[in-house]
Structure 1
Amino acid sequence: MKSRERILGFDFGTARIGIAVGNTITCTAQPLAVVASGTGGPDWPGIEKIIGQWNPRTLIVGLPISLCGDETPSSEKARRFARQLGNRTGLEVQLVDERLTTREATDIIARNTASGMNGRRNPPPVDSVAAQLILETYFEEFGDPACA
């Protein structure tokens, strides 16, 4: 896959950051990894290593929004992470509404586990599945019209 077709999605959290990779041609995304985020801030070396491996053209960060459409205390933290991500990488960073992605990711993992779709492998971490859902939201809202 050419790098111009590749994007990475981030589900920012104060303990963990889920990462997913997406393809702008096929409008598909898949869970990729989870890196730490704690009192010392995000695991920047881990994030930069993943970005270097995948060479994306754009980075998408989930923006926590309340059910009634208002920003939350976590919104500013996600905005700060997005600014730092852009400053550190020089890549375009876009914010996407991530309403209910963690809950939906938990439901998806539970359904796949119950139906045996995860096979013998361990299910992907909920944070990386949430990042996948953030990319899918991006494709639906801003991707190629064929994605809708």
Structure 2
Amino acid sequence: MVSALGLDIGRKRIGVAGCDRTGLVASGLTTLECRSLEEVIARLRQLVQERSVEILVVGVPYSMDGKLGFQAKQVQKVAHRLARTLHLPVEFVDERLSSFQAEQLILAERRSPSRHKALIDRKAAAIILQQWLDHRRMAAK
């Protein structure tokens, strides 16, 4: 199975998720503060080495009509830069509702979404990666 990192790239934070060795379950790993690109790259490089990552899976926030808006293009630009720097391929996943789903999970845990933004980013990254894993598993059948 392939080792992947799921990324929910935002302006202030990047949620990061990984998958288990079987490639069945994605879980949130960490949330990176976007103070500097160099700092983000250093932390991602460390995770890539620790987890023997082979691919980046990045959520793209398409608009509800399925078009690439400004934010989606920015996310793709950052993702391609990270992939080039880390020498990894990148695949994109439609993440239109992943943050909303993550907020719903936080609410179900009786927590306040406004106080747990980093947790939302991690959960959104896990949702993105899980979608990708599920899609690959279905395509392999």
The TM-score bracket by the shorter chain reads 0.7 to 0.9
Alignment partner of 1:145 out of 104, 114, 138: 138
Contact 1:109/1:123 (<8 A) preserved: no
The whole-number CA distance in structure 2 between the counterparts of 1:33 and 1:23 is: 15
The superposition leaves residues 34-69 of structure 1 with CA deviations (integer Å, 9 ceiling, x where unpaired) of 11114x446221221222221111110111101111
What residue identity is the alignment partner of 1:108? L
Determine what percentage of the aligned residue pairs are the same residue: 24
Contact 2:31/2:118 (<8 A) preserved: no
Matches within 5 A, 1:34-53: 34-38=31-35, 40-41=36-37, 43-53=40-50
Determine whether 1:127 maps to 2:127.
no
Unaligned runs of 5+ in 1: 115-121
The whole-number CA distance in structure 2 between the counterparts of 1:7 and 1:14 is: 22
The alpha carbon displacement at 1:70 in A equals 1.1
Contact 2:3/2:23 (<8 A) preserved: no
Tell me the TM-score normalized by structure 2. 0.84
Other structure's SS at 2:78 match: helix
Measured at CA, do residues 62 and 24 of structure 1 come closer, stay the same or move farther in structure 2, by a change above 3 Å? farther
Measured at CA, do residues 59 and 83 of structure 1 come closer, stay the same or move farther in structure 2, by a change above 3 Å? same
The whole-number CA distance in structure 1 between the counterparts of 2:140 and 2:124 is: 19
* Corresponding position of 2:66: 69
The whole-number CA distance in structure 1 between the counterparts of 2:127 and 2:30 is: 14
The alpha carbon displacement at 1:97 in A equals 0.6
Alignment partner of 2:17 out of 20, 44, 48: 20
The whole-number CA distance in structure 2 between the counterparts of 1:112 and 1:124 is: 15
Displacement over 6 Å in runs of 4+: none
The whole-number CA distance in structure 2 between the counterparts of 1:105 and 1:130 is: 5
Matched residues, number: 136
Measured at CA, do residues 146 and 94 of structure 1 come closer, stay the same or move farther in structure 2, by a change above 3 Å? closer
The whole-number CA distance in structure 2 between the counterparts of 1:146 and 1:23 is: 19
